[in-house]
């Protein structure tokens, strides 16, 4: 399956890059069909649809409908962020995490402090902290007389993007951004834990709760009940504001499937530090001092440096699964690398400057974050289609294209957010695109391989919908029309 899907990606890539002998799509036929759908679908009444369609070969605009109108892009914003990050940082870029000390080692004792300095890596797992602790053990250290200090000063201390809704605070997609953080699984939802709720063995039992990674940083209050097999399944998981107390309520029928939810933690720096302290303990290393946050002094010496996966690899969970934390981390990293400050303000300025290289005028945009979670972001559909045309000429384009979800591909890291969409024969495996959804908004932009063998670029931004799920069905119909040309 994986080889077949990779072949599909290659075919579309080749179609986009190699000159075609096909004529441009029959404008009149396409225009008529698209206009008919836009005019007749009742779910678009009172909504706004911005659409831009162009040839992947020439960039010629084939169809547009309010394509110059600035609309909220939702996670289609990540297309801009990914392109800018690849351009600024490069596809081989890695994030570093450093272990440093300011003391000497004598008799297997570090007489000083040990510093864990994060530099933005969103992929750190508990196993990585285990490896870091093992490095300390390799240096013959069994005891640390000083403090264990977590340093997140690589970025500023602003944890949430400017317009993040307060209701998203506990959600994994609204997790705090820190230069020192941790992820529960290889989806790399940094700054969050995964909570699994399983029914008890019999009626009346409390549900079984599992937190990944296993950590005391999260306090779980279990107020659940196991009910008969024909009972109602309803589970609610809430984290208390500004705390890491998670209350789980509700009922689970006997033998029912487990419920999983990812919850953003409060203070990801201390979360990562807690996991590292746990790893040190498991290696038999004792810390006599305090566990706290702070900055690394200039006289501290590096004990070990851990490198993340390459940016080209990180792009896959970032774009396939539409990871907000990755987007915001990349914005801050661009700011740090280019302007010496890991902040949204500096990072977004770098993004704006970089986008001009793709023929985009940043004065036509409103950029408030890198993920698209803000309802204040504004991007015209024509800008997104222009971006998708221009990036084809970049050396890193294969990595960019490979990161996009593929229609109807069932594997999570292939189909991503499109794995359950566009499964019909006209479009299955023929659409590679980035989706986007926030309240009242549904968007999708990417490439489609048509019946006539052309590759067509499209951007569809639907705003002011009463039901964003209806928007996805409209998008799929519009793309199917293009695919059938």
Beta bridge partners of 226: 252
**Cα separation, 114 vs 141, whole angstroms:** 11
Residue with tokens 């006209």: 426
Whether the Cβ atoms of residue 262 and residue 317 lie closer than 8 Å to each other: no
Helices then strands, each counted (H, E), the chain: 12, 20
CA angle 296, 178, 187 (to 5 degrees): 125
**Cα separation, 382 vs 51, whole angstroms:** 7
- Which regions of 187-300 does DSSP assign to beta strands (E)? 192-198, 208-212, 219-227, 234-239, 245-253, 259-264, 286-287, 291-293
Task: Supply the residues annotated as catalytic.
Answer: 75, 78, 322
**Cα separation, 315 vs 327, whole angstroms:** 10
**Cα separation, 260 vs 237, whole angstroms:** 10
**Cα separation, 182 vs 224, whole angstroms:** 28
Whether the Cβ atoms of residue 150 and residue 270 lie closer than 8 Å to each other: yes
Least Cα distance to 312 among 8, 76, 86, 14 occurs for 86
Q: Is 151 left (phi over 0), alpha (psi -120 to 50) or beta?
A: beta
Tokens of 387: 């971006």
């Amino acid at each position: 399956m994986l080889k077949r899907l990779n072949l599909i990606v290659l075919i579309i890539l080749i179609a986009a890059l190699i000159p075609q002998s096909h004529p441009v799509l029959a404008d009149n036929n396409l225009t008529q069909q698209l206009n008919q759908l836009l005019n007749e679908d009742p779910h678009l009444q009172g909504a706004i649809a911005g659409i831009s369609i162009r040839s992947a070969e020439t960039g010629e605009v084939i169809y547009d409908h309010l394509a110059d109108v600035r609309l909220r892009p939702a996670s289609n914003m990540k297309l801009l962020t990914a392109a800018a990050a690849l351009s600024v940082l490069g596809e081989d870029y890695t994030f570093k995490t450093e272990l440093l000390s300011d003391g000497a080692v004598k008799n297997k004792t570090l007489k000083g402090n040990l510093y864990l300095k994060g530099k933005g890596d969103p992929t750190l797992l508990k196993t990585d902290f285990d490896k870091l602790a093992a490095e300390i053990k390799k240096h013959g250290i069994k005891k640390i007389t000083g403090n264990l200090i977590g340093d997140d000063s690589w970025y500023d201390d602003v944890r949430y993007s400017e317009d993040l809704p307060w209701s998203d605070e506990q959600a994994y997609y609204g997790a705090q951004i820190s230069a020192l953080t941790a992820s529960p699984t290889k989806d790399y939802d940094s700054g969050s834990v995964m909570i699994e709720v399983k029914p008890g063995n019999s009626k009346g039992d409390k549900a079984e709760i599992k937190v990944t990674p296993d950590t005391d940083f999260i306090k779980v209050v279990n107020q659940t009940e196991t009910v008969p097999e024909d009972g109602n399944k309803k589970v609610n998981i809430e984290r208390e504001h500004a705390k890491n107390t998670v209350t789980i309520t509700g009922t689970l029928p006997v033998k029912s499937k487990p419920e999983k939810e990812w919850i953003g933690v409060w203070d990801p720096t201390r979360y990562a530090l807690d996991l590292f302290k746990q790893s040190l303990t498991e290696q038999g290393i004792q810390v006599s001092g305090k566990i706290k946050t702070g900055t690394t002094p200039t006289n501290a010496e590096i004990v070990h440096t851990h490198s993340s996966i390459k940016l080209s690899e990180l792009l896959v969970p970032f774009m396939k699964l539409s990871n907000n934390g990755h987007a915001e981390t990349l914005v801050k990293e661009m700011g740090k690398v280019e302007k010496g400050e890991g902040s949204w303000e500096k990072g977004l300025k770098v993004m704006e400057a970089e986008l001009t290289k793709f023929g985009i005028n940043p004065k036509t945009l409103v950029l408030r974050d890198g993920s698209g979670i803000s309802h204040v972001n504004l991007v015209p559909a024509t800008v997104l289609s222009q971006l998708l045309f221009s990036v084809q000429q970049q050396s890193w384009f294969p990595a960019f294209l490979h990161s996009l979800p593929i229609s109807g591909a069932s594997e999570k890291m292939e189909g991503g957010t499109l794995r359950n969409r566009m499964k019909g024969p006209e479009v299955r495996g023929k659409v590679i695109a980035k989706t986007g959804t926030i309240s009242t908004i549904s968007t999708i932009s990417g490439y489609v391989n048509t019946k006539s063998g052309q590759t067509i670029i499209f951007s569809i931004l639907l705003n002011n919908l009463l039901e964003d799920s209806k928007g996805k069905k409209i998008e799929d119909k519009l793309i199917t029309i293009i695919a059938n040309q």
